[in-house]
Structure 1
Amino acid sequence: MDTYCLISEQTKKKLIIVLACALVFSSMSATMFNVALPSITEELSLTASQASWIVTSYMIIYALGAVSYGKLADKYTLKNLLTIGLLLFTIGSLVGFFSDNFAFIILARVMQAMGASVFPASAMIIPTRYFSPETRGRALGMTSAGLSLGVAIGPIIAGMMTTALHWHYLFALSVLPVIFIPFFRAYLDNQAGKDMKLDLVGAVLLGVTITCLLLGISTKDLYYFPLVIVFLVLLMLRMKLAEEPFIRLELFKNRRYSLILILFALSSGIGFGLPYLTPLLLAEVNGVNAFISGLIMFPGAAIAALLAKRGGELADKKGNSFLGYIALSSYFICFFNLSWIVGHSPYLILIILAFGYIAQSFFQMTLANTVSEVLPKSQIGVGMGLFMLTNFVASSIATALMGTSLSKELVSPRLNIFQVTNKATVYSNIYIVLSIIVIVMFTIYSVMISKSHSHSEMKSKGF
């Protein structure tokens, strides 16, 4: 059934605005507590390992929730899923606000993640389900703007609230999204997906596999990785043998979808280098404190948010591939230029960062739009959930690899001969490697687009 006509055009406009606003809070919640972590650690006398769980627990549940809600969206109404998600997020925020105990703070973060993880999948499913291919890019642009704005203002708001008030008020701020429930219930339709059995065994196997993988990456404990292999094998067997598996193997037999996941993994990995490496670089090489680092990073993310809608319009008018090539070119401009300006004025870094944030926003938009074209509607929910899950796993792997490179101070040889500041050589080398990855992405994307055009031409000729 065609779902584009389930709600009116006027309602669609209101719905996408409400979704974009909700996504601001969702992405803020994922980043704010990184800034507040030192204050929480000191006040509660936590060890470094304990403190890391405030972020790690959220990341694991958020990642698993993204794919779980995507699967549930194929069976239940988005209206009810968003209502449940927002209620869980609000309850978790209230628990956190009244907690002075480490265990309750972890409980609060887990509940927040269980609720907030409804948004990554919804941000992709709503434009795909309710907007026609001719207008879908603009809708994805709005959701991308919400995500980018949250990333931009999250650290700054967290820094100000933690300094002027108390870190508890970060939880209080997170109660506000509850106001969006009446709007989602008014604007979304009541249509549910087909009545299918949920594969709880498959869901548990996926959850344990991803949990072991993320724990192994975040703790650098090698004992988790044999468990990852064991549970991954069991998951694949379940996918093959179950009548209604949680994730169908057919998804990965779709070559274009598999290429999209690879490209998104690479994009998420290199894109995470912007918020992860920049504060470390500015502190170690330029002697800039955390607050000033946030101000330097803010304009790039804000510009990406402002241009996201324009990017969606370009995708609608000139096609996904046009926007994709703009994104990949911007990625290369960002990382190659960062490889030689590190160690120089932070204001140069501020300018170059904008290209990276724009690239990340545009490329996610491009790939999400392409997913909606290569998957049947019956697989869109879980397909988008896996798409967003890829983001979290790739970001975690990238963090571990970049952190290892920095800790080992891989300063020789100098990969960019134009980079002259010895203290920043390790960062320059990482940015050169990221530039090479962009070239690999450009090649994969070109092959995928070429095959897509060939397939379209054959279909038009009746083959």
Structure 2
Amino acid sequence: MNKIEQIDVQRKVAKCMPWILLFEFFYVFNDNVFNLISPSLSDEFGVTPSTVSLIVTLGKLFFGIATIIFTAMSDTISIRKVLLWTGFAFPIVSLLGVFSDSFTTLLISRTLFSITVAAPIALQVIIAIKYFDKLTAAKYFGYNTAIYQLAGAAGHLFGGFIAEYFHWSYVFLIPVITILGMPILLKNLPKDISRRGSFDIFGMILMTVITTSLVLFMTYHMKYPLLLLAALIGAVIFFFYIKKSKNAFLKPELFTIKGIKRSLFVGTLFYATQMGFFFIFPFIVNETYNMSVSLIGVFYTITNIAAFVTGMYSGRIIKSIGYRNITLLGGSFILVGLACIAFFVGYSVVFAFLGMGLFNIGYALFFSGYLSNFTQLLPRHQHGAGIGIEKLITTISFSLGGAFVAMLYGQPFMMKKVVDFSSNLKSAPFSNISLILMIMIALATWIFVIVFKKNFNQVNEAEETIA
């Protein structure tokens, strides 16, 4: 492909990217709304809160598994065919949710919703790496986090309104508009071809069993050790399987690449911290300051919008300071945000929301830089498998982070003030949890600096021109 043809392909793919990113908006929006209205669903269907939590838990679980499978498959299958197939299926699945008249049908609808939307969300990363230069791909990673934050803001702001004045089922109706973008995808997505290679069904099944068992074990706060046992047995079988199988979708040599294991550990600490903080923050502002849910939603929205703006400008920030430095800058924002909570949570709610704002901005910066650096470690033919593993780490880390913080919260030893010097009697556990998360981020940042040297920071002039 010559330079002119390459630029033409990039322009066509660039027309598709906003529509592909739109799928992420509706997934996050849907997720936030159902988090918000869970108590109402418990009353409407006459089920316990723990049963209602399955709507969110299973949705996240199957979304995580589907993203792993789609990214791993992208090394050998046609991305165009998968995107078009799931793109046309997604509005149909959304309409099924509108007509859910029982808890069971709602649960099925949410699961199918999560599986079909996983393809465009997972493959947008592969598309950015495949068709664009490094800087433009990083810019789209920034847009990814920006859309995530915007959808979070919209979910917090409008979710309750829709549920209260209309009905929760209308949340499924809105994503149907994605069908309008299908002609654009049909016209502009490059006609890539499937490469020769077998589909590793057994490996996928094993990975699904391992992920499902481990995530459910952590989701239910480690109450069911048989789930952990199933995950461990599955992991042992999977380990010996990929060593002997010639067609395993996850190649053992992936982990022999210099820096991969430590880079994934960095991602584990960052993603676990993110979910742990998101889990505990509503408790911080509710129990320490007795704030109403509606007011919390307004403040959430403000911090989400700040992170959205940051994500949209991530490409320009990278041009100014580089890939490595934007990741370190993101880590610094996260660290300072957590410090606001750890040291000042007992004084004023202003510090709590300042901490949340800095935390969200930090992740918008971190994600665009970290993913760019991580993919630089991967050979081109391992991009799909590498991103698939990164998605697996994200899924498990989210569950681990939430369960870890939930386990700490309420423990007697967490009531002892360490860096909280306020007179507030309720702030000690939140200060201590934030301090522990700070240590995790500091450790992750230190490892990142070791793995990614200054040469990972460079932005080429050719990239600046294309971007």
Q: TM-score range by the shorter chain?
A: over 0.9
Equivalent-residue separation in structure 2 for 1:231 and 1:2 (angstroms)? 47
Amino acid at match of 2:181: F
User: 8 Å contact 2:420–2:427 — kept in the other structure?
Assistant: no
- Residue 374 of structure 1 aligns with which residue? 377
Deviates more, 1:63-72 or 1:401-410: 401-410
Closer/same/farther in 2, CA of residues 321 and 48 from structure 1, 3 Å limit: same
Please identify, of 364-373 and 36-45, the stretch whose mean Cα deviation from structure 2 is larger: 364-373
Q: Gaps spanning 5+ residues in structure 2: where?
A: 458-467
232-241 or 398-407, which moves further after superposition? 398-407
Task: Verify the 8 A CA contact 1:266 1:437 in the aligned structure 2.
Answer: yes
Instruction: Give how far 1:249 is off.
Output: 1.0
What is the deviation of 1:184? 1.9
Equivalences for residues 351-430 of structure 1 within 5 A: 351-430=354-433
- Could you tell me how far apart the structure 2 residues matched to 1:170 and 1:334 are? 32
Map 1:49-68; keep pairs closer than 5 Å: 49-68=50-69
Moved over 4 A (4+): 1-4, 451-454
The amino acid across from 1:259 in the alignment is: R
Structure 2 counterparts to residues 253-268 of structure 1, below 5 A: 253-268=256-271
Structure 2 CA distance for partners of 1:188 and 1:6, relative to 1, 3 Å: farther
Residue 137 of structure 1 corresponds to 138
Q: Deviations over 1:81-119 (max 9, x none)?
A: 122223343233222211111111111011001111113
Structure-2 separation of matches of 1:53 and 1:129? 36
Alignment of 1:34-433 (within 5 A): 34-219=35-220, 220=222, 221-433=224-436
1:424 to 1:417, Cα distance in 2 relative to 1, 3 A = closer
User: Hey, what does 1:459 align to over in structure 2?
Assistant: none
Given residue 434 of structure 2, which amino acid in structure 1 is its aligned partner? Y
Match of 2:114, as an amino acid?
A
- The alpha-carbon deviation at position 40 of structure 1 amounts to 1.0
Matches within 5 A, 1:15-34: 15-34=16-35
Distance in structure 1 (CA, Å) of the matches to 2:219 and 2:213: 10
Secondary structure at the counterpart of residue 196 of structure 1: coil
Cα distance per residue 1:266-319 (max 9 Å; x no partner): 111111234322211111111112221111111112111111132222224432
**Range that drifts further, 286-295 or 323-332:** 286-295
Q: Is the Cα contact below 8 Å between 2:9 and 2:131 reproduced in 1?
A: no
TM-score by length of 1: 0.92
Q: Give the match for residue 458 of structure 1.
A: none
Deviation, 1:17, is: 2.4
Contact residue 91 and residue 179 of structure 2 kept, 8 A: yes
Q: Which amino acid aligns with 2:262?
A: L
Does structure 1 retain, via aligned residues, the 8 Å contact 2:29–2:154? yes
User: Could you tell me which amino acid in structure 1 is paired with residue 163 of structure 2?
Assistant: T
Unaligned runs of 5+ residues in structure 1 are 455-463
Change (3 A) 1:92 1:344: farther
CA positional deviation for 1:7: 4.4
The change in CA–CA distance for 1:397 and 1:106 in structure 2 (over 3 A counts) is same
Identity of aligned residues (%): 20
CA RMSD in angstroms, aligned pairs only = 2.1
Could you give the per-residue CA deviations for residues 152-210 of structure 1, whole angstroms, max 9, x where no partner exists?
22222211111111111112223232333222222210113412101100000000000
Quick one: distance in 2 between partners of 1:435 and 1:386?
25
Q: Deviations over 1:4-24 (max 9, x none)?
A: 927434324322322333321
Q: Which moved more, 1:264-273 or 1:59-68?
A: 264-273
What secondary structure does 2:410 align onto?
helix
Q: Does the C-alpha gap of structure 1 residues 291 and 88 become closer, same or farther in structure 2, counting only changes over 3 Å?
A: farther
Instruction: Check conservation: 1:135, 1:316, Cα contact below 8 A.
Output: no
Question: Match of 2:460?
Answer: none
Closer, same or farther in 2 for the Cα pair 1:453/1:51, shift >3 Å? closer
- What is residue 438 of structure 1 aligned with on the other side? 441
Contact 2:346 2:420 in 1 (8 A): no
- Aligned residue for 2:452, secondary structure, equals helix
Shift of 1:419: 4.0
Number of aligned positions between the proteins: 454
Task: Report Cα offsets for 1:322-347 as digits up to 9, x if no partner.
Answer: 10110111011100111122233333
Counterpart contact for 1:39–1:167, Cα < 8 Å: no
8 A Cα contact 2:276 2:404, kept in partner:
no
